[in-house]
Chains A and B, each alone.
Chain A
Amino acid sequence: MNFTRHKNYTELKSKLEISAGNDYLKYLTKEKDISDQIINHSRSMITIINRDYIYEKVNLTFCNAHQVVLDAILGKSLVDFWGHDTFHNIIKRNIDLCFSGKTVNYEATFITPLSGKRHFEVVFRPLSVEPGKITHLLAETFDIDDLKNTKQAVIAKEEELRKFESNLPIGFLRCNPEGKILHANGAFLKIADCHDELSITRMNLKNFYIEEELFDLQLDQLAESHTKNFGMVNLKSFSGKETPCRISGFLAVNGSGKPAYIDFAVEDCSRELMLENRLLQAQKLETIGSLAGGIAHDFNNILATISGYSEMLHDDLPKNSEMSEKVSKIQMAVKKAQSITNQILTFSRHVEQEKVLINVAEVLKETIGFVKSSIPSNIVMKSRIAKLNTDVLADPTQLFRVFLNLMTNAIQAMEENGGVLTVSLAVVKRKFVQHELNKDIIADEYVLLTFKDTGEGMDPSLIGRIFEPFFTTREVGKGTGLGLSVIHGIITEMEGEIVVSSKKEKGSVFSVYLPVSKSYSISTSKKGSRKKILFITGNKYESRIFSLALESAGYELIFISDGRNFAKVMTNVRERPDMVIYMSDSKQIKPEDLIRIFRSQKILTPCILITDAIQDISDENLLNSGIINQQLTKPVSLKEIRNAIQELLR
């Protein structure tokens, strides 16, 4: 037997037969010794296996690796040597394949006593000692463990670099010197609005520039200085979306000094710009606020003068005269003006709110109930309210005002064409809020309320201005343009923030963030000593808001919705409340019922009247009846109502 290939072996044999000269034989023996030496000292394990899966030849490397002597292995079956499982599961299949005439190449891991568990590449080559028949196979096994490890390390490193590059929030591009994209990372694909790298490599970076000439100019600059920061450039994505990006380039040269490629870093600055913009807006609002607050203060002085003289005039004039009616109109105008100055003061946060610990979800649900009762039929209202701890420090009446205003705005935006108003409440973590707000984060969690409509949306240029007082997109005469500025003031006073996003023809989303309060409600008055307040209401949702407010402030509330019950409660001395609050829109108990019951029973219980902002004269009877101790005009804050109660119960 010989270790040379079967073809050589046959040649050799025939040569032997032809010239069986002694010298030549000697030469051949020497030759065989040399090849044996080479084979034995090969770094590969080399064996010859016959069709019975028996080792017929093995080299020294194999013996050393397996730490066996040559005689112990020659003539031994592979099943015995490798064990039943390894032989049948891996080896036999490949040997059989080789005996069918194919060279088989595979990788396997196995343990050798010399070096333990290692990775090998195995090659089976068919061998023939009889012409036209594969009788043996030559097995070569190379230790590729180090190679494999190095390869894996390289792959791992590559993967790491790739991850590093693709996870970076900055877009990276490699382009040829003309700007054709050779490679782009994930961040750039995002800016380009492209889902696979392949299609982007068909593009030139220039194609993403809104001003393509600018890119040519930048290439020229790079050719000169090699590294260059280009500042802010507007890019457009595949879908046409514009993104302001900060771009810098680096030109690499090859050995001969010619441009080889250009690396670009492309940073999406839209968020940064947006935050910068918002901060500017906030500062602007702050300035307008202090200005408007000062004006409101002066106006209140003027209104006090007008109101004082008109009151005196009203007293001087004969009752129900035409003149006195005209003076009443002046007084009504003063009331209206006062409501505007109050709103401005709320916007400029010149009005301090009285805050109680309140569950936002409850206030939101009541407001939804209130709105639903009068929603136009072409508008669908959906709500998603998380069942979580959503306590915040706030004045519930002000929260009601905020929610009501945002929902009303949304409905008005969809009035013509109908749509869907989606109201949702969730609790978000500090980490999330940090990225959304540009003010100090004061709580671990925030309540996030969103009011989303599918209405007409707003022009981007208007979005920044909607919280300014007197800014309105509505027709002249419809609304004062104070609503959203007041909302802004109320939310800022709660240390929250309101954020808006809008798309023309698509709709708007108002997001309100309020810090979740973990403090415990401190009830000021003990049970038993709590004052009882009878509430005569117009709307159950609105009254529920008042009760949330007053109950958290330590009062006990009784609600009455019909005249018979009212008479019963008021005549029973033990049940009689400490105070009556009467809302002028109450339908079940009319003002004349109230007057009649109070007079007939000679009731002296203090009574507060809450009226709508613009009230017709019909309440004059009630106001002049002597029953009402104090009159408040909607929107009434918890502070106002509480001050009134405290004043009257003193």
Chain B
Amino acid sequence: MPGVLIVEDDKELREMLKVSLLRRNFTVLEAENGKAAISHFKPLITDLVVTDLIMPEEDGLKVVIKLRELKPSIKIIAISGGGKVGPGSYLNLAKALGADAIYSKPFSINELIAKIEQLLDNEHLN
């Protein structure tokens, strides 16, 4: 099954995302911040990343740039709940930097899963 990396500093939210992805039989990898996500990145088993944008250590934008560099074919979804500059502008920045989809928190988990499946399906067809 495709592997999804969750990068999120909020433990409960990370857990929720993990539970919902496991229900759909994805392989789930976790990182609690950007730095960990980049240093422990496993390109061979990671097909898609769901990353928060505002996190301690390296932020999500760095994750988007760095992981895209390490594995150009990776799919990236950015999620954000608003912070210093605002979810709107941060999310748009993430999109400009190469995120495939963006969601502001709180989002519909079903919508997110549907998006993940759609992105990975397309990958499969290609």
Contact = CB atoms under 8 A, between A and B. Distances in A.
B25 interface: no
A307 B107 contact: yes
Interface stretch (B9-17, B30-38, B57-65): B9-17
Interface string B101-114: 00011111110000
A460 interface: no
A308 B20 contact: yes
Contacts of A164: none
Interface stretch (A166-174, A214-222, A294-302): A294-302
Query: B15, B54, B105, B106 — which one has the most chain A CB atoms within 10 A of its CB?
Result: B106
Contacts of B92: 352
17 contacts: A298-B81, A300-B81, A300-B82, A302-B10, A303-B105, A304-B16, A304-B81, A304-B105, A304-B106, A305-B10, A306-B106, A309-B19, A311-B109, A334-B106, A338-B106, A345-B86, A350-B87
B111 to A, nearest CB: 9
Contacts, number: 86
Contacts of A303: 105-106
A341 interface: yes
Contacts of A307: 106-109
A314 B54 CA distance: 29
Given A297-B82, A299-B81, 15 more contacts: A297-B81, A301-B105, A304-B79, A304-B105, A304-B106, A304-B107, A306-B106, A307-B106, A307-B107, A308-B20, A308-B106, A341-B81, A341-B82, A352-B86, A352-B88
Interface string B60-94: 00000000000000000001011111111100100
Categorize the interface residue count of chain B. 20 to 34
Given A345-B82, A350-B86, A352-B86, A304 B13 contact: yes
Contacts of B17: 308
B98 to A, nearest CB: 15
A351 B88 contact: yes
A296 B109 contact: no
B56 to A, nearest CB: 13
Contact of B87 (A298, A334, A351): A351
A293 interface: yes
B83 A350 contact: yes
B23 interface: yes
Nearest to A640: B88
A308 B107 CA distance: 8
Contacts of B79: 304
Interface in B26-44: none
Contacts of A301: 10, 12-13, 81, 105
Given A308-B16, A345-B87, A351 B109 contact: no
Contacts of A308: 13, 16-17, 20, 106, 109
Interface in A337-367: 338, 341, 345, 349-352
A72 interface: no
Nearest to B107: A304
B109 A312 contact: yes
B116 to A, nearest CB: 13
Nearest to A314: B110
A639 interface: yes
Interface of A: 293-294, 296-309, 311-312, 315, 334, 338, 341, 345, 349-352, 639
A302 B12 contact: yes
7 pairs of A and B residues whose beta carbons are closest in the complex: A300-B81, A303-B106, A300-B105, A350-B86, A304-B106, A308-B109, A301-B10
Nearest to B91: A643
A564 to B, nearest CB: 34
Contacts of A315: 110
B108 A311 contact: yes
A301 B16 CA distance: 11
A303 B107 CA distance: 9
Contacts of B86: 345, 349-352
Nearest to B83: A297
Contacts of A294: 83
Query: B19, B81, B84, B92 — which one has the most chain A CB atoms within 10 A of its CB?
Result: B81
Given A304-B13, A312-B19, A293 B83 contact: yes
A482 to B, nearest CB: 15
A428 B122 CA distance: 56
A619 to B, nearest CB: 15
B8 to A, nearest CB: 8
A299 to B, nearest CB: 8
A54 to B, nearest CB: 103
Contacts of A352: 85-86, 88-89, 92
A345 to B, nearest CB: 5
B119 to A, nearest CB: 13
Contacts of B110: 311, 315
Nearest to A351: B86
A351 B105 CA distance: 13
A567 B81 CA distance: 40
A352 B86 CA distance: 7
Contacts of A350: 82-87
A349 B82 CA distance: 10
Contacts of B20: 308, 312
